[in-house]
Structure 1
Amino acid sequence: MRSLKRLLLAHPMWTLARVLTVLALLMVGCGDEDTDPDSFDSQSDAVKKSGITVSGRKVLRNNHRFISRGVIFEGFQFPKDAMEACEPPPGESQDKDFCDRHLLAMDYLLNGDALERAKQNWKANTIRFNVNQALLDPSSALHDKKDGNGKKWGAKYLDLLDHAVQTARAKKLVVIIALFSGRLDRADNVYVDGKSLNELNGDTKMATARTKRAMETLVKRFKDDKEVLLEVFNEPYGNDPIYVNGGTKDGETYVGMKQIVNAARAEGLKTPIIVQGNGAYITDYLIDNIGDDNIIYSSHWFLKDGDPDGGHALFNQAFGNAAERVPVIITAWDATPKIVEGKNGKPDQNTWCKKDPRGIKLPKIFLKYVRNRNLGLTGFAFDVPGSVTKDFRTLQDQPTILGATCADGGHAGKLVKSLFENYASRGDDNATEKAVEGPDDDGDTLDDTDDPDDLGLPGGPTYDSDNDVWRAHFGVSTFQKLSPSDPESMRLNPLVFDHKFYLQRYPDLAAAAEQSSMTKRDFAEQHWKEHGIQEGRMGSPTWDPIYYAAAHPDVAAAFGTSYYSMLNHFLNGGRQAGYRASAAFDAAYYYNRYGDLQAAIGWDPAALLDHFVLYGLNEGRQASAELAPAWYLGTSPGLAESLEPANYHGAIIHFFRDGQPAGWPGSHP
C-alpha cells in the first residue's frame, strides 16, 4: 500500500482504479498475444568502429551521423621557405601580398585563435588543408631542396603540416588533407631556382605518379588517426576512364584513382578516402569502377564567373543523384556574382548571376539543396581575404555578404555560416533521411522579401542535448505490456521477464519462435523458465543476472552461477535494498535526477523501480548514468526512423543487443 500511495502521488490525476489496473501489470498483466502494439525489430548491422566511417550513403563519426561543417585553410599550399624569400619572376617585382598572405595564414592557424573562431563562431567541425603534392613527393626537386641548415624542404613541410593537423585535432576537429597540383595563377609570381611554384608542383589536370607518391607519404604519416581524411585529387578535369583507370592523353601520363586508392590501402590506410568527381561531376562510371566501398565522394560546384547556370537539374547531375547511392561532401564552395570586364572593355554578362533567371538567389537555392540532402560542405576559404571571410588578417572570422543584386557583388560567407549554424542547432543525427525538395528549375519559390543572408532554418535537439530534451521532443510512448500466462509465477514477474524484450534481445530465440507452433509469448515463457534463467540471459530491461553478480560480490559469492537463486534474491530482498540488476536502472540515480519522484515517492528503491517499469520507461526517463533511452533513440544512426515514435523500449533493446556490443555510448559521453 505504501508503494501504491506513492504512485498515486506521482500521478495525482490518475484514479485509484486506474492505478490498480496498471499495477496489475506487475502481478497479473493485461491484454493477450493477439494484441502486439509495439515492435522492437530493429536489428543493427553496425560493426564496432571509431573515428570517421561510412555506412551506405552516410558518413559516421564514432557510429553517429556526421555532417561536415568545414572551413578551408589554403595557407599550407606552398613551402614556407619560398613564401619568405618571395622570389619574383625574372625582371618583375615581388608579389609581396600573396607571399605575406600565406605566411600570415600559417601563423594565424598555428599561433592564433583561427581554429577556435572557426569552431565557436562558425560552428565548424572540420578543417580542410590544401597541400602541395610536390613537397610530399620524395622524387621532386621541391621536396629535395635544402634550407641553410641542410634540412630538406619536404621534411620541414611535412612536419609543419603534422603540427597543423595535431593543432586541429586537439580542438576535436576532423581534418581533410587535399592534394593539389599547381593551378593557382598567382603561384606563377613566386619562383624557386628559376622556376615558378606552379611549374615545380606540376600543373596537371588529373593525378600523376607524383600524386601517388605524395599520397603514400601522407598515408605513412597520418594513417593511424581515424579522423584525418585524405582527399585526392583536387578538381580533376578530363576523361572519366582515364581519370579512374589511368592512361595517356595529350602527351601526359596519368595515374588512375583506382591505382591511388589501392596504393593507399596497401600502405595500411583504413579510413575513408575522399575522391573528387571529374569536373565536379560524380558519375556512375566513377562509383562503379573505383573498386573500393570505403570512399566518400566530393564535388566542387562553385558559383563563379563563367560557370553554367544552376538549378536542381544540374545539381542532380553533378552530385545529387550520386548522393542517393554513396556518401557525398561538397569539400569546397563559395559564390560570387562579381561582374568581370569583357573583351570589349564592357562588363561581361556571362556569369551565373546574369544568365540564370533566379539571379542573386541561386546561392541560397544551392545551399538549401545541400541542406535538404544532409550533405556536408566546406567553405572556401577561412584565410583568403574576400572569399567566405572578409579579411582574416584584420577582421578575423567576419563573413562576407552577398549583395541584393548581381551588380552588388560580394561572396557567400554569411550563407555558409548560416548553414553551419543550422546544422549545429539541428544536430547531425537529427537529419532527415528523405531529401526535401525545394524550388524546381521552372521558377524560384523564394520571394523578394527573403534575406539572402539568412537561411531561416529550424533547430532541434542535438547530439549534445540532454536526455530530457530528447524525450520532450519524442513524447510519451504508447507501449503496453502483455499479461504473463501465470501471474502468480515469480519467474514471470514483469520486473525480471518481458517476453517481447526477451525475443528481440536474442535474435536466435526470435527466429526459433517464428518456426514454433506456439504463440510467441508461450514460446518465450517456456524457453525462459526451462533454459534462459539458468543460462544467465537477460529477461527484461531491469534484470540482467550477469550484471547483478558482477555488481554485487556478496551475491556472486553466495550463489555462484545459480541464476535462479539470484533472481529469487533480487525479488525478495535485492530490489528493496537498491541492488542494481541492470545497466538500465539505478535507484539512486533515478531518485537524484527527478525531483518529482523525490517528492512523491521518497527513497524507496522498490517503489522507484516499479515507477520506472510502469511509467518512467514509457516517458523516456533516464534511470542510470549509463543509459539514456531518449538520447540513445535520437542520436543512434537510423534508429528513430526504424522504430515507432517514442519507442524507448525498442531503443533499450537495441542498446543491449547491438549498441553496447559495438561500443556505442548509451548516454552522452
Structure 2
Amino acid sequence: MGAPTARECFGSGEVLQLGPLRLSLVRNAPVAVAVLATSAVVALALVGPGAAAAATARSAAAGDAVAVQGNHLLRGGAWWVPRGVQIVGLVAPDGSLSGKYVNAHAHFGAAELQAARARHADTIRFQVSQYGFDPMDPLYSPTYVQEVRSGIQLARSTGLNVIFSLQAQGPAGQGQNCPLPNTGAERAWNQIAPMFAGDPGVLFELYNEPSLGLSFTNWQLWQNGGFVPAQNGTVCQEVGIQTLINDIRQDGAGNVIIVPGLAAEFSLSGMPAVTDPANPSSPQLAYGIHYPSLTAGVGAWNPEFGNMSATVPVIVTEWYASSALNTNTPQCVVGEPALAAWLLAYLASKQIGVVGYAFDVPGTIVADFSYAPTTYDNFACGVPGGGPGQLLFNEFAGLEQADGPSVNDPPGWIVSYSDVTRLLAQAPGNAHHFFDSPRTFVAGASAPTLRRLGLGAAIPTASFFSETALANAINRHQLRSGTLAVLYAPQHSRFLTPRAEQLHPDQYAQRAARAAHAHGLLLVAAPAVNLVAARAPRTKAGAFYSQFLKLRITAGVARYADSYAIQADGLETHRSAYLGFVQGVALQAAVAHSGVELLTGLSGSSLPRGQAPRPLLNAALAVSAIVSGYWLDDPAPAQACPTCTSAAAAVLRGLRGRGL
C-alpha cells in the first residue's frame, strides 16, 4: 500500500510519540479537543456514552430491545443498522382511507409481514393517523386504535421491530392542518406512549415530515412551539418537539424516539439541540431524514445529515426513487439507477439505516402484491414500474448476513479483486460473511464480476495513484461496469504519481472528489506515508510516520473524502506504534471531516518470514474502537512468505470468532 516497512520506521530506534499525554480516541463518541499551548500537543478525549446507558443496553441483550449508544443503535445488545420497509395500510381509520391506501389496507396481514422478512427487512415503519388517535378529534376511533395496536403486535410477533410514525398529512384522513406537531399531536402521543411503553422494540417517530422551511426562526418553532399559519388560513398552536419528548418520558415510555428534521424531514442542518429528560447523559434519541436529493449528492448529504451521523444515530425513515413523473412522488431524474446505488453506498458507509417506501404500494419498492421487488431493468423516466426494490433488498441481504452478535459494528473493508478471490478459496464462509456487504470496497472488480463471485452487495471500486488518471477514467467513461467508488492513493513514486500531486495531495484530493461526486461516485482517499519523502526529503526513514502526522497530510486530504484509508501497514507487529499512528491520523481526520469513514491497513507482507499471523489480528483489535474497518492486503506466496496467504484468512477467522 505504499507505506515504509516496520524496519524503516524503527531503523533509527524511533518510538512514535504523540506528546506527553496518552491519546484516548474512541470512535463515534462526542469529541473534546484541548490544545496545550506549552507543548503544542493536541489531545483528543472522546468520551463514550454514559455508563448507565451502556449497562442498560447490555442488560437488554435478550430479544430485540432497541437502545441508543453514542451515534448508533443497539438491538438486543448488538450493533444495529435498521433495514426497514414502510406499510401505509393503517394510515387512517377505515372510513377515511382513499386511493392506494384502500388497497394497501386490504392486503395487510401476517403474509405481508412474512414477505417483508423474506426480503431481509427487520423493521416496519407504520404511518398512523394523528386524528385517529387524538381523543378530541372527530376522526378519533377506538376501533382504529385497536386495529393499529393489533397490527403492531402482529409485526412484533413476526420478529420485526416497529417505527410508529405519527402522520397528519392528507393520507391520515383530514389533510395536513399544521406544518409542525400541534396540541392534537400531543394528545395522540399521550395515548400512544403508555400503550407501547413496555415494548422497547417499538421506536417513536414524532411527526411525519414537518413542512416548515429551514431558518433559525423555524427551528426555534420546531423546538419550542408557537403560533404558525396553516395551509387552510387558520393558525396552528404548535407544541414543539421538546414538549413531545418530555410528554413521552412523563408518560413512562423509555422507547427510542426518532426526531424528524425540517423541510419535509429533508434536513437536520441548523437543528437546535433537544434533550432527553429521562436520559440526560445518554439521550435515547435518533434523527429522521426523508428522500436525500439524488441530484445534489454528497455535497448536500454531508451537511444535511451525513456529518451529524458521526455524533448521533440517523435513519432515513422514508425513501424510494422510481420512474414515476407524478408530482406526489419523488421526481424521476436522469441517471437515477446509478444515483440511487450511489446513495445507498453512501448510507452504508455512514451506517445509516434506511426504510423503503412502501411495501404495500405497487410501483415503489414492490411491483405488485406478490411483493416482487421493482427493478431498474430497461429503466426510463415516465415509463411506469421502474424502481429500486431489488437494489434495496440486495443491500438488506448483504447487511443481514454481515451482522454479528457483537456490540461493535461489523467492519467495513477495502480488498482487491485478486485478494478476495484468493480468500474466497481459502475461507469461503468468512470471506462471504465479511465481503458480501455494501460496506466492502472491492478494488479492480466490476458489478457483474462481484455477482458471479457471490458478492453482489459489495461496492465495485476503481483504484488510482494519480488524480489525473482518475479524472480521465471517469470523464472518458472507462470505469468497469457498475463502479460506485474510486480509490485515490497518491504515492512517492515518479512512475505512479506526478510530482505536483505528491507535494499537494490535499489540492488533488479535492479535484478527485469533485470528479467523483460529479459522476455519482464515492471517493476513498489513501495518501501513502512515503509522501513524506516528497514533502520533507531530509526525513530519516525511521521518522516517516511521525513526520506524516506533523505535515498534517491527513487533515488536508480527509476533508474531501467520503472514506479515508490509513496506510498504517508496516507497523502491525509493533502494536503500540500502530495504535499511536492510527490514533494520530484519526484525530486529524475527525477534526477535518467529522463524518468521514476511517479504515486502516493490515498487510500480510508486514510479517517477517515464517511468523504466525497473530500480530495482524492483535493490531486489528487494538484499533477497532477507532476505525470502522480495514484495508486488507493478502500478498501471494511468491511476494512474501508461505504463511502470508493464510494471514488475512486468520484475521477474518479471529474477527468472526469475536462475534463480528
- In the other structure, the counterpart of 1:241 is 220
- In the other structure, the counterpart of 1:324 is 310
- In the other structure, the counterpart of 1:371 is 348
For 1:406-433, what per-residue CA distance to the aligned partner results, in whole angstroms no more than 9, with x for missing partners? 4555121112112212212332631449
Compared CA separation, residues 362 and 398, structure 1 to 2 (3 A): closer
DSSP-derived class of the 1:142 partner: coil
Opposite residue 77 of structure 1, the aligned amino acid is V
DSSP-derived class of the 1:322 partner: helix
Counterparts of residues 117-516 of structure 1 (less than 5 Å): 117-120=115-118, 122-143=119-140, 153-154=141-142, 156-184=143-171, 197-199=173-175, 202-238=176-212, 239-250=218-229, 251-279=235-263, 280-283=265-268, 285-290=270-275, 293-301=283-291, 309-339=295-325, 351=331, 353-354=333-334, 358=335, 360-392=337-369, 395-401=370-376, 403-406=378-381, 408=383, 410-427=386-403, 429-432=409-412, 450=481
Counterpart contact for 1:415–1:452, Cα < 8 Å: no
Counterpart contact for 2:325–2:332, Cα < 8 Å: no
How far the C-alpha of 1:214 sits from its partner, in A, is: 1.0
DSSP-derived class of the 1:127 partner: strand
Counterpart contact for 1:401–1:453, Cα < 8 Å: no
How far the C-alpha of 1:233 sits from its partner, in A, is: 0.8
Counterpart contact for 2:88–2:101, Cα < 8 Å: no
Distance, in Å, in 2 between the alignment partners of 1:64 and 1:341 is 40
DSSP-derived class of the 1:229 partner: strand
- In the other structure, the counterpart of 2:76 is 62
Counterpart contact for 2:130–2:168, Cα < 8 Å: yes
Distance, in Å, in 1 between the alignment partners of 2:361 and 2:244 is 30
Q: How many residues align?
A: 403
How far the C-alpha of 1:364 sits from its partner, in A, is: 1.5
Counterpart contact for 1:364–1:415, Cα < 8 Å: yes
Counterpart contact for 1:42–1:639, Cα < 8 Å: yes
How far the C-alpha of 1:210 sits from its partner, in A, is: 0.8
Distance, in Å, in 2 between the alignment partners of 1:169 and 1:76 is 16
- In the other structure, the counterpart of 1:102 is 104
Identity among equivalent pairs (%):
24
Compared CA separation, residues 447 and 263, structure 1 to 2 (3 A): farther
How far the C-alpha of 1:405 sits from its partner, in A, is: 4.2
How far the C-alpha of 1:639 sits from its partner, in A, is: 8.7
Counterparts of residues 17-32 of structure 1 (less than 5 Å): none
Opposite residue 412 of structure 1, the aligned amino acid is P
Distance, in Å, in 2 between the alignment partners of 1:181 and 1:447 is 48
Counterpart contact for 1:70–1:128, Cα < 8 Å: yes
More strand, by proportion: 2
Compared CA separation, residues 617 and 164, structure 1 to 2 (3 A): farther
Compare 246-255 and 288-297 and name the one that shifted more.
Answer: 288-297
Counterparts of residues 584-623 of structure 1 (less than 5 Å): none
Distance, in Å, in 1 between the alignment partners of 2:151 and 2:373 is 22
Opposite residue 314 of structure 1, the aligned amino acid is A
Choose between structure 1 and 2 for higher RCO, CA contacts under 8 A separated by at least 6 residues. 1
For 1:172-203, what per-residue CA distance to the aligned partner results, in whole angstroms no more than 9, with x for missing partners? 2211110000323xx7xxxxxxxxx225xx53
More helix, by proportion: 1
How far the C-alpha of 1:399 sits from its partner, in A, is: 3.2
Q: Higher Cα Rg: structure 1 or 2? A: 1
How far the C-alpha of 1:478 sits from its partner, in A, is: 7.4
Distance, in Å, in 2 between the alignment partners of 1:401 and 1:363 is 10
Distance, in Å, in 2 between the alignment partners of 1:255 and 1:295 is 18
Distance, in Å, in 2 between the alignment partners of 1:132 and 1:399 is 28
How far the C-alpha of 1:637 sits from its partner, in A, is: 8.6
For 1:62-93, what per-residue CA distance to the aligned partner results, in whole angstroms no more than 9, with x for missing partners? 3321000001111010113x16xx7xxxxxxx
Counterpart contact for 2:89–2:360, Cα < 8 Å: yes
Opposite residue 175 of structure 1, the aligned amino acid is V
Distance, in Å, in 2 between the alignment partners of 1:138 and 1:183 is 19
Compared CA separation, residues 365 and 642, structure 1 to 2 (3 A): closer
How far the C-alpha of 1:229 sits from its partner, in A, is: 0.3
Opposite residue 247 of structure 1, the aligned amino acid is G
Distance, in Å, in 2 between the alignment partners of 1:398 and 1:642 is 31
Compared CA separation, residues 639 and 77, structure 1 to 2 (3 A): same
How far the C-alpha of 1:633 sits from its partner, in A, is: 7.1
Compared CA separation, residues 633 and 64, structure 1 to 2 (3 A): farther
How far the C-alpha of 1:309 sits from its partner, in A, is: 2.7
Structure 2's unaligned 5+ residue stretches are: 1-14, 16-21, 27-47, 213-217, 230-234, 278-282, 415-438, 442-458, 486-519, 523-571, 576-611, 633-646, 648-656
Structure 1's unaligned 5+ residue stretches are: 1-34, 87-94, 144-152, 188-196, 343-349, 458-476, 481-614, 621-628, 647-665
How far the C-alpha of 1:373 sits from its partner, in A, is: 1.0
Counterpart contact for 2:342–2:484, Cα < 8 Å: no
DSSP-derived class of the 2:290 partner: coil
Compare 290-299 and 369-378 and name the one that shifted more.
Answer: 290-299
How far the C-alpha of 1:618 sits from its partner, in A, is: 9.4
Distance, in Å, in 2 between the alignment partners of 1:74 and 1:447 is 43
Compared CA separation, residues 240 and 402, structure 1 to 2 (3 A): farther
